[in-house]
A and B are shown apart, each in its own frame.
Chain A
Amino acid sequence: MKAFLAIVLQTIRSAIRSKVFHVLFVFILLSVFLLPMTVSGDGTAIGLVQIALTYSLGIVVALISTTTLWLGCSLLSHEIENYSVHMVVVKPCPRWMLWLGKWCGVFIMHAIIMLISGGIIYGLTQWRVAHGDFSELEISQLNKEIRVGRRSFEAEQPNIEHEVEAEFEKNKESFGKDLSPSATKTIKEELRRRVLARQGEVAPGTFKVWTFKNVTSKLNEKLANNNSPEKSANTPLETGMVFFRYRLFSGEADSTKQQQMPCIWGVRDPRAVAGGAPDPYINSMLNVMGGTYQELIISSNFIDKNNDNSLAIRFYNPPKEGWNGHEPIPAVFQPMDGPTVLVAVVGFANNYFRAMLLALLQIAFLAALGCTVSAAFSTPVATFVAVAYLVIGLSVQAAVSAPSRNEDGSYRYTGVANMLSHKFSQGIGHIVVSVDDLDATSDLIKGRLIEGRRLGESFLYLFCLRTGLIAVVGIWILNKRELGAVIRK
């Protein structure tokens, strides 16, 4: 343990002496202090917090990642090249400990910088909001929508298999006789897509209902209970609220052909249900631009506590009379867009800390990558290999999301080559770690909860398994490498 600690301390000392680190550290300091104080959003409190966090956290994490990677790539390789590592390996200190000590030193130093920077950014952003010229309502809105961790609940999915089967049976003859199992499977997949697409389409004069079950949150209930009716009458956002997030397309899901369309949104009132009202929905009419994400704010009083804490929301596409002279068109909801219900589950500090944890995992991964390549190569080659790995990770993400999708969310391939290359990218994506997977800023700035499950998966799958694999390779290389054969350049 003494040897391990000595290696860690020595790594931190030599890291602090690095000129590149000095330069990057100055940039980190500038970003930490200047960005949250200078960037300006769209003039709202929400915009300010979103932009301050996006830029500050994004740039600071990027800079810390760069220094981590640079030091990871340079420290070990440098010590191997100038033979100082020989002084360590001739002592009773196993090479795995040397590798781990280096990794730990780089990680601990950057983790501390990251946590301090994160804390300062958090404080400065809060300070700027507190000293900004924002109304109470704006601040309240900010606290409900952004400075919070909102869990998303998905609607109950209808079982479509029997509909697919019925459709298949109905048109069986038109598909031809003696269908092979693979042809049957393909046809059913196509039918499934059609059924899903049909379910997402709401023609004029018709409606669609989504039911969300088990919509609960202790935090939300606490917020609802803490507010007196008088106060909530003045500031509606102070009560416990849930947010219904959706995106609808007008006519077809082509982003270039979108237009505004009238929508009648209804929320089922549990009291009306209990009272046996014929239509227990409370409606409100909106004119919504197709293709854009929207959020409806709904009082948590509409959650039916006697019915599995369910919340039912209805979309009614008005008939011709409701279109004010325009030609009525169907509304299209794509399965990949949800809709979802967002409920406050944790506070902002908690969610921010979760984002920081993911950033720390990113640092840990980059330190491991740097130490591994520096165990195998000289500093420039190690840096090149590490950057190439990261580029592959980022490109794979782009390649995985590149093919266009069907309305049911499945991929639409233009040919076999397209499909094969996509499957190949997906395969690589399972092996290579992409830093994008560890970036939670986009969720944080939208007030979306960074789920414990995501943290756990990232820790086990991305860190322990994939980064662990990189570490094992690094230790193996360092063990196998003939350090005496290294020639000083």
Chain B
Amino acid sequence: MKKFGPICAFLVVFLVLGTALSVVQSQMNAIRYTQHLTDVDPLDNAPPWVAFTSVALGGFRGLVADWLWLRSSKMQDEGNYFEMVQLAEWIVKLQPRFTSAHSFLGWNMAYNISVTFTNFDDRWRWVKRGMELIRDEALEYNPGDPELFRQLGWIFQHKMGQEYDDANRYYKTEFAKEMIRLFSDYYGQWELLAKAPDNEQKLRAALGGKNDFWDIIAKYGYPNFTDFERHFREIAIIPTSSYEGQPPIKEELDKLGITETVESCLRARWMKQKYRLEPVRMIHLNEVYGELDWRLSEAHAIYWAERGKEKWSSEKDTMRRLNCDRMIFQSLCQAFDAGRLIYLKDIGHLEMTSNIKVVDVTNKIYQDLLEYYNRQSSVLGSYGGFLDNAIATLYKFGEKKKANEYLQIARSIKEFSPRFNLDLDEFVLRELAERMKGATNAQAQNTIQSYIMNAYYQLAIDEEEPANTFITIAKQLYDRYMKDNEGIEQRKGLPPFEQMKKTTLEMTKQRINPAIAKRLEELLPHSGEKFIPEAGEIAAPEVK
């Protein structure tokens, strides 16, 4: 007993002091926060070992992070990238508040490391790693940090959205596949997803407190909700016997009429937890900017830029707000050019078309920003480019009246050169002639689609000869563009011409007068080909 006496005494003292400290510490933390005694807010969402290292290492964690940073630079110089993810993760954990460093590390992976690989799959892995570091790690500890939002948006808008990277079409294809897996049939049902229960308790309550769902998943061998959810995220659908080797859970849920509640809960949680996409914010952005295609990177760039902008606006940081505004209007321009996904299979078949619905909102955003930034030259220059493009694109897609309206708007802006003083036909003709020479992939795609669309319209009204002429012009433009971009097809190439004809035929049927569309359907019935695969048909990305 004598031997254990001091140990027992020590344990008692330890427990008493520990309890007392715990009480005092929480009060001290509260005082720290309310009296603004520290420069930074307390760390949110930090796992225990991050919280522990932050406190235990004290000032030394900076030194450790510095050493890791130096090692990371050395490894990068030597081409040893395998450690970069782990080192970046540790740096973030050691310095969870140093968001500019996190932002740099993410950007470095997405930009500098990715381009050292010639294989597109490897490149995409590093772009994803960069995004994941910011989204999954850095934002976890700094949920409202605008610098992180801006950087994330930039990767979406510039790295994935623009065509500077040879692999940009691959990124777009893979990202669209991920988004189809994420949204599946719930794409566009944002209200439903916003209202969906976001945890197990709420799901139980939404199912009327009944255990049916849990009984079903237990019957098919899922020990709990977490395991079922993990499997759901792997296959991207509720297991159904329609797919080989899957249990008929969907069928059983259908019988009970609870599929929608369960699936919307699972998808909403996936959106929020993995991709940090809040359906409520998506609804708001769709209201502000029009129907954005959330399977494409532009919509996501706008999402993150908007979140950054909120913070910079409230802090009255005009310079940083301008960066976010630029990202928004550039993304809107991209969305206008190629903001609608129409065909998805692989990099060679990716096809988008213009989302002309966003033209008015883009114009309004530009005008508001011109006002806000005192007609700053960079905004003005970008606006001029947008108007050029808008007039030509609207004209090409048969929206002559709207194109003319935009020509008038352009003429009314005194800073613009007299290039807008030509009449509409002349202006568009000149634009098209200049444009095909150095056209972006999106512009070339739009131009060719517009000629094919005109051809189908002529065909629908039984004007076969003009229809053939339009098709011939479209094919000539296609061949010319492909020849000009020989050797860089993967970066700037167009999908096969025959595919473009098929997709444009369906687009034409949707856009023209129903009576004429019916005639067109009689002449050229739908082939039955599925242009965009369903969630369950896309394999889970191999990069975990």
A292, B79: Cβ atoms closer than 8 Å:
yes
> Which partner residue on chain B sits nearest A288 by CB separation?
B118
Contact of B82 among A42, A138, A288 (CB under 8 A): A42
Q: Is A322 an interface residue (CB 8 A)?
A: yes
Tell me the bound Cα distance from A445 to B129 in angstroms.
Answer: 22
The answer to whether A44 has its CB under 8 Å from any CB of chain B is: yes
Q: Does A167 contact B (CB under 8 A)?
A: no
CB closest chain-A residue, reference B490: A287
Point out the residues of chain B lying under 8 angstroms from A127, CB to CB: none
Asked if B77 contacts A255 (CB within 8 A), the reply is yes
CB-CB contacts below 8 Å: B384-427 with A: none
Asked whether any CB of chain B lies closer than 8 Å to the CB of A262, the reply is yes
Interface residues on A, range: 20 to 34
Q: How far is the CA of A425 from the CA of B431 in the complex (A)?
A: 67
In the complex, the answer to whether A324 meets B487 with C-beta atoms within 8 Å is: yes
A292 contacts which chain B residues (CB < 8 A)?
79, 116
Of chain B, the residue at the smallest CB distance from A322 is B487
Residues in B with CB closer than 8 Å to A288 are: 118
CA distance A322 to B118 in the complex (A): 17
Residue B488, interface by CB 8 Å: yes
Cα of A445 to Cα of B78 in the assembled complex, Å: 13
Q: Do residues B86 and A40 form an inter-chain contact, with CB atoms below 8 A? A: yes
A446 to chain B: closest residue by CB? B80
Q: Mark A318-339, 1 if CB is under 8 A from B, else 0.
A: 0000101000000000000000
> Within 8 Å of chain A (Cβ to Cβ): is B194?
no
Q: A260-B115, A288-B118 are in contact. Are A42 and B487 (CB under 8 A)?
A: no
Q: For window 1-56 of chain A, which residues contact chain B by CB distance below 8 Å?
A: 39-44, 46-47, 50-51, 54
Report the Cα distance A40→B132, complex, angstroms: 14
Complex CA–CA separation, A46 to B83 (angstroms) = 11
Residues in B with CB closer than 8 Å to A135 are 542
Alpha-carbon distance A260/B111, docked complex (angstroms): 12
Contact of B544 with A by CB under 8 A: yes
Q: How large is the interface on B (under 10, 10 to 19, 20 to 34, 35 or more residues)?
A: 20 to 34
**In the complex the two chains form, is A46's CB within 8 Å of B118's CB?**
no
Complex CA gap A44/B85 in Å reads: 11
- Tell me, yes or no, whether B166 is within 8 Å of chain A by CB: yes
Q: Mark B64-94, 1 if CB is under 8 A from A, else 0.
A: 0000000000000101111111100100000
Contact across chains for A40 and B85 when beta carbons are under 8 A apart: yes
Q: Please, how many angstroms separate the alpha-carbon atoms of A135 and B539 in the complex? A: 13
A-contact 0/1 string along B123-161, CB 8 Å cutoff: 001100100000000000000000000000000000000
A112 to B453, CA, bound (A): 77
Known: A133-B544, A255-B77, A287-B166. A41 touches B86 (CB 8 A): yes
B86-128 interface with A by 8 A CB criterion: 86, 89, 115-116, 118, 125-126
Q: Name the distance in Å between B87's Cβ and chain A's nearest Cβ.
A: 10
Nearest chain B CB to A31's CB is how many angstroms away? 15
Bound CA–CA A288/B77 (angstroms): 16
Contact flags B531-544 to A (C-beta < 8 A → 1, else 0): 00000000000111
- Interchain nearest-CB distance for A34 vs B (Å): 13
What secondary structure prevails in chain B residues at the interface with A? helix
Q: Are A43 and B129 in contact (CB under 8 A)?
A: yes
On whether the beta carbons of A42 and B129 are closer than 8 Å, the reply is yes
A285 at the interface (CB under 8 A from B): yes
CB-contact partner of A43 in B83, B85, B115, B488, under 8 A: B85
Minimum CB–CB distance for B479 against chain A, Å: 18
Residue A143 lies at the interface, judged by CB distance under 8 Å to chain B:
no
Supposing A262-B487, A289-B116, A322-B487 touch, asked if A47 and B82 sit within 8 A by C-beta, the answer is yes
- In Å, the complex CA distance between A255 and B73 comes to 13
B116 in contact with A51 (CB, 8 Å): no
- Please tell me if the beta carbons of A285 and B125 are within 8 angstroms of each other in the complex: no
A139 to B488 Cα, complex, angstroms:
31
Contacts of B81 in A (CB 8 A): 42, 47
Chain A 261-304, CB-CB to B under 8 Å as 1, else 0, gives 01000000000000000000000011111001110000000000
> How far is the CB of B105 from the nearest CB of chain A, in Å?
13
B82 touching A50, Cβ below 8 Å: yes
Which residues from chain A contact B86 at a C-beta distance below 8 Å?
39-41, 51
Complexed CA–CA distance, A138 and B125 (Å):
14
When distances are taken between beta carbons in the complex, the residues of chain A under 8 Å from B166 are 260, 287
Q: Are B83 and A54 in contact (CB under 8 A)?
A: yes
Task: Report B-chain residues with C-beta under 8 Å of the C-beta of A262.
Answer: 487
- In the complex, how many angstroms separate the beta carbon of A437 from the nearest chain B beta carbon? 18
Q: Cβ of A39: which chain B residues have Cβ within 8 Å of it?
A: 86
A289 to B485, CA, bound (A): 20
B129 contacts which chain A residues (CB < 8 A)? 42-43
Q: Which of A428-464 contact B (CB under 8 A)?
A: 445
A479–chain B nearest beta-carbon distance, Å: 44
CB-defined contacts of A322 to chain B, threshold 8 Å: 487
Contacts of B79 in A (CB 8 A): 292-293
Interface centre among B82, B84, B85 (most CB of A within 10 A): B82
Q: Are B487 and A285 in contact (CB under 8 A)?
A: yes
B203 to chain A, nearest CB (A): 28
Report the bound CA distance from A288 to B542 in whole Å.
25
CB-CB under 8 A from A42, the residues of chain B are 81-82, 84-85, 125-126, 129
Given the complex of chains A and B, what is the CA–CA distance between A292 and B115 in angstroms?
Answer: 10
Chain A, residue nearest B119 (CB) = A286
Binary interface profile of A, 130-154, with partner B (CB < 8 Å = 1, else 0)? Answer: 0001010010000000000000000
A43 touches B487 (CB 8 A): no
Enumerate chain A residues within 8 angstroms of B115, measured Cβ to Cβ. 260, 289
CA distance in complex: A135, B542 (Å):
8
Min CB distance B492 to A, Å, is 9
Chain A hits for B485, CB < 8 A: 324
Tell me which residues across on chain B come within 8 A of A50, comparing CB atoms: 80, 82-83
CB-CB under 8 A from B126, the residues of chain A are 42
Q: Which residues from 118 to 175 on chain A have a C-beta closer than 8 Å to any C-beta of chain B?
A: 133, 135, 138
A288, B116: Cα distance in complex, Å: 7
Distance (Å) between the CB of A151 and the closest chain B CB?
Answer: 20
Bound state CA distance, A120 and B115, in angstroms? 37
Chain A residues near B543 (CB, 8 Å)? 43
Closest-by-CB residue of A relative to B77 is A255
Residues on B with C-beta less than 8 A from A47 are 81-82, 85
Chain A's nearest CB lies how many Å from the CB of B410? 29
CB distance from A258 to the nearest CB of B (A): 10
Interface-centre pick from B81, B86, B125, B488 (highest chain A CB count, 10 A): B86
In the assembled complex, the CB of A440 is this many whole angstroms from the nearest CB of chain B, namely: 15
Q: Mark B424-457, 1 if CB is under 8 A from A, else 0.
A: 0000000000000000000000000000000000
Residue of B nearest to A41 (CB): B82
Complex Cα spacing A260 to B544, Å: 28
Whole-angstrom distance between the Cβ of B402 and the nearest chain A Cβ: 33
B window 327-357: CB within 8 A of A: none
Contact of A51 among B82, B118, B488, B542 (CB under 8 A): B82
Which of A262, A292, A293, A324 counts the most chain B CB atoms within 10 A? A292
Contact pick for A287, options B77, B84, B118, B125, CB 8 Å: B118
Partner of B544, one of A43, A255, A293: A43
Task: List A244-268 residues whose CB lies under 8 Å from chain B.
Answer: 255, 260, 262
Interface centre among B84, B487, B543 (most CB of A within 10 A): B487
Please indicate the chain B residues that have their CB under 8 angstroms from the CB of A40 in the complex. Answer: 85-86, 89
Instruction: Looking at the assembled complex, report how far the CB atom of A373 sits from the nearest CB atom of chain B, in whole angstroms.
Output: 28
- CA–CA, A47 and B487, complex, Å: 31
Most chain A beta carbons < 10 A, residue from B85, B129, B166: B85
Cα A356 to Cα B82 in complex, Å, equals 22
Q: Please provide the 4 A-B residue pairs with the shortest distance between their CB atoms, ordered closest to farther.
A: A47-B82, A292-B116, A293-B79, A50-B82
Extra contacts besides A42-B81, A43-B85, A260-B166 (12): CB < 8 Å: A39-B86, A42-B84, A42-B129, A43-B543, A43-B544, A47-B81, A50-B82, A54-B83, A262-B487, A289-B116, A292-B79, A324-B487
Can you show 6 pairs from A to B with CB atoms below 8 A apart?
Answer: A41-B85, A43-B85, A44-B82, A50-B82, A135-B542, A292-B116
Give me the interface of A with B, judged by CB distance under 8 Å.
39-44, 46-47, 50-51, 54, 133, 135, 138, 255, 260, 262, 285-289, 292-294, 322, 324, 445
